[in-house]
Amino acid sequence: MTPSNYMTRAELIRRIKLLEQQKKVQTEQGAGIAPEPGQRKMEEALRESEARYQRLLETANEGVWTVNAGGRIEYVNRRGAQMLGYSPEEILGRPLLEFVVEDDAWKVAQSIQVSGQGGFAGMLEFRMRRKDNAQIWVCANTGQKNAHPGMLMMCSDITETKRAYEELKVSHEELHELSSRLLSAREEERSRIAREIHDELGATLTAIKMNLGLCAKLPERSSKKRNEHLAAANALIDVAMQAVSKIATDLRPSILDNAGLWAALEWQTQTCRERMGIPCELDMEVDDMAMDRDQASAIFRIFQEALTNVARHAEATRVHVKVRADDKEVVVEINDNGKGITPSDMLKEKSWGVMGMRERARSYGGELAIGSTTGQGTTITLYMPLRKAK
């Protein structure tokens, strides 16, 4: 709460007290009680105060309500009525709880009771129902309505603040879960690489060593046998080199560094075509430009993960990729004709890949959009502002 807001509320409460004093004077005059000396000046001051108070209420940025001991609305300013889509005349005389969402009604009822007993109910947040049946969140300061039973309430619409908070909370939870998942994925990747080195490279190197050992034990006259073992060892060396190349390519394709992003995307499309066994078309409209190395890696990894997801889950018979880039933006669109993605699928564990792609895009100021219709395929589009090479 800012100091200006605090003073505004304090002034409102003070002026309500003055207004009720004025009503008391008017009541005494109506009963024939003679005004005391100086009372006329007080009446005039009170009338001026009431006029200023009314202007202040009607121009306030907060909704101001007064409720009697029975919970019925005695006063609401224009802002308070507008928050609910009503005019003040439509609200006056109706129970306040009629406009409160059922699950939160107990909070407001308790505040009315505490305020009616002379207590200070304080600040509370609850939901109210608009005329169009939509729900809004309000933050209200409540307290006793001067010396009379009832409640004074000043409230602000915090619906957008609540929505932003919930979105931020979900985002933080997703980031925490993604971070944990990435740590697990890193360990899984290390285990996979270790298995490949042990199973493929380790076994091949052992066989080479055995062949060379046999060659060393052969007598000099057994040149034919020695040549056979050397040929076998040479073939195994080729296998070992292929295994090393495969492991290195899986970690980071050399084509990405040697030929650039566009060539790497073409290579990945060809690789996907060979592995999936389905048509995979690539259309590129790109300018020859120097791109930041880390950003190029991020785009490639997003592209790679998207094609991997198509291969694993889409059951597609066709994939069409469009790449467009200029000196401002890179756009990559991957469209398949597979079974599509349902909203529930996005919440499952397999959506970790989607979360990872989104976070990679956000880290470079980009955005990942996913459009899908069940049974009609999925379109994944990456938009990323270009970051020039340093």
**101 vs 22, which has greater pLDDT?**
101
Helix (H, G, I), strand (E, B) or coil at 56: helix
Look at residue 229 and tell me if it is in a domain.
Answer: no
Q: Is the pLDDT of residue 304 over 50?
A: yes
Tens of pLDDT, residue by residue over 176-229, are: 776 766 666 676 776 667 676 767 777 777 777 777 777 777 776 667 777 777
Q: Is the pLDDT of residue 52 over 50?
A: yes
Q: pLDDT at position 320, please?
A: 92
276-286, pLDDT tens digit by residue?
Answer: 778 889 999 98
Do 147 and 279 belong together in one domain? no
**Residues of the domain holding 36:** 3-158
Q: What is the mean pLDDT of residues 288-303?
A: 86
218 part of a folded domain: no
Percent above pLDDT 90 for the chain? 21
Q: Say whether both 151 and 279 belong to one domain.
A: no
144 and 264: one domain? no
The predicted pLDDT at position 333 comes to: 95
Q: Are residues 147 and 18 in the same domain?
A: yes
CATH number of the structural domain spanning residue 107: 3.30.450.20
pLDDT score for 30: 53
Same domain, 11 and 138: yes
Same domain, 154 and 263: no
How many structural domains does the chain have? 2
Is the per-residue pLDDT at 95 higher than 90? yes
Q: What is the CATH number of the domain that holds 363?
A: 3.30.565.10
pLDDT at 96 over 90: yes
Q: Does any domain span residue 163?
A: no
Do 151 and 283 reside in the same domain of the chain? no
Predicted structure pTM score: 0.48
Residues 272 and 382 occupy one common structural domain: yes
Which residue, 107, 139, 158, sits at the end of a domain? Answer: 158
371 domain residue, yes or no: yes
Residue 239 lies in a domain: no
**Are 153 and 11 in the same domain?**
yes
Residue 249's Cβ-side half-sphere holds a number of Cα atoms within 13 Å equal to: 12
pLDDT tens, residue by residue, 117-139:
665 657 889 999 999 999 999 99
Percent of the chain with pLDDT over 70: 73
Tell me the chain's radius of gyration from C-alpha atoms: 37
Q: Does residue 182 lie in a domain region?
A: no
Evaluate whether residue 223 is within a structural domain. no
Please identify, among 141, 158, 175, the residue that sits at the C-terminal boundary of a domain.
Answer: 158
Question: Residue 142's pLDDT is what?
Answer: 82
Chain length of the chain = 390
Residue 80 placed within a domain = yes
Same domain? 262 vs 140 = no
**Boundary (domain end) residue, out of 138, 158, 178:** 158
pLDDT recorded at residue 7: 42
Looking at every residue in the chain, the average pLDDT score rounds to 78
Report pLDDT for 90.
Answer: 93
Q: Which residue has the higher pLDDT, 59 or 268?
A: 268
Number of Cβ within 10 Å of residue 160's Cβ equals: 10
Residues 154 and 257 in one domain: no
Q: How confident is the model at residue 375 (pLDDT cuts 50, 70, 90)?
A: confident
Q: pLDDT category, 99, cuts 50, 70, 90?
A: very high
Lowest pLDDT segment from 71-80, 81-90, 201-210? 201-210
Instruction: Please check whether residues 148 and 13 belong to one and the same domain.
Output: yes
